[in-house]
Chains A and B, each alone.
Chain A
Amino acid sequence: MQTTGPDFDRVFAALGDATRRDIVRRAIAGEEGVAELANHYPMSFAAVQKHVAVLERAGLVTKRRIGRRKVVRTDVEGLRSAQRLLDRYEELWRGRIDRMTDLITNTATTKERTK
């Protein structure tokens, strides 16, 4: 279904879980496979595999073959595009503050005129 660009809903849903965020962090080095990653968490291999699959679908990690091994690697570009979207949310609040400032400035000017 994914046509152009990252699916942001999936990206954010994927990052809404502490274990998955940790996997993304560890996989930046891109040296561990699912089995090695699973050693870091008090959960089953299958559970970790599921988390990795969610991240994969969100475009945040890829599996890559190195020799006979398959390692999980974070797609940093995928992360950055999510960052850009998140910046837009922060912008939303900054926009609100800007509009507040405009309102205050406008009323201040009006008051001065009536003085």
Chain B
Amino acid sequence: MTVTSVQKDPDALTMTLTAEFDASPERVWQLWADPRQLERWWGPPTYPATIDSHDLRVGGRVDYHMTGPEGDQPRGYWEISEADAPRSLAFLDGFANDDLTPNTNLPTTEARVKIQEIGEGRTRMVIDSIFPSTEAMERLIEMGMEEGFTLALGQIDGILAEDAVPQR
């Protein structure tokens, strides 16, 4: 199992996913830094991603589009706020219009990636996904969430966990 934990904190509007790889931090960094590798994992098989431009420096941008089963092509962009190879990357992930300008009607999510060597040739990657507001989460959910930088998972987890407490 490479995913070692997924934590959902509905109050802080974050999801934290931790994964471990049998590789060096440099190798894991390449998954983000090499656009040809990035497009092989970013989109799900039903929505493969194509990276149209890729500048992973602070202030830089990544433009991409995905291609859906119906031929639909939602566009997205990243705005890089932190890039420290091979240790950390932070960016705003938003939707874009066809002319590549940010679609300001739709919410953005923030992603923070930390990559850390943990010995024996292994590397840990922690990804925080942060939503700006509950409304933004709602909106993203309404859109179908092809982007996958998800979501209010913990809300239902919490409710069901309380339900599991034996009731008399």
Question: Which residues of A does B touch, CB under 8 Å?
Answer: 8-9, 12-13, 15-18, 21, 24-25, 28-29, 74, 76, 79-80, 82-83, 86, 89-90, 92-101, 103-105, 107-108
Contacts and interface: CB of A to CB of B under 8 A. Distances in A.
B155 A15 contact: yes
Contacts of A95: 44-45
Given A15-B156, A28-B163, A99 B40 contact: yes
A89 B163 contact: no
B120 interface: no
B162 interface: yes
B24 to A, nearest CB: 10
Interface string B143-168: 00100111111011111101100010
B70 interface: no
B156 A9 contact: no
A92 B2 contact: no
27 contacts: A9-B142, A12-B152, A15-B155, A15-B156, A24-B159, A25-B159, A28-B162, A29-B167, A76-B163, A79-B156, A82-B156, A86-B151, A86-B156, A89-B150, A89-B153, A92-B148, A92-B150, A93-B17, A95-B44, A97-B3, A97-B19, A99-B40, A100-B21, A103-B40, A104-B21, A104-B27, A108-B23
Contacts of B22: 104-105, 108
Contact of A12 (B19, B27, B142, B149): B142
Nearest to A95: B44
B31 interface: yes
Given A9-B141, A12-B138, A93 B148 contact: yes
Nearest to A82: B156
Interface residues of B, number: 41
B159 A21 contact: yes
B101 interface: no
Please give me the 9 A-B residue pairs with the lowest Cβ-Cβ distance, nearest first.
A99-B41, A92-B148, A16-B138, A12-B141, A89-B150, A97-B19, A104-B23, A86-B153, A83-B156
Nearest to B136: A16
Given A12-B151, A86-B151, 17 more contacts: A9-B141, A12-B138, A83-B156, A83-B157, A86-B150, A86-B152, A89-B150, A93-B150, A94-B3, A96-B44, A96-B148, A97-B3, A99-B40, A100-B31, A103-B31, A104-B23, A104-B28
A25 B160 CA distance: 9
A101 B42 contact: no
Contact of A98 (B2, B148, B153, B162): B2
A94 B142 CA distance: 21
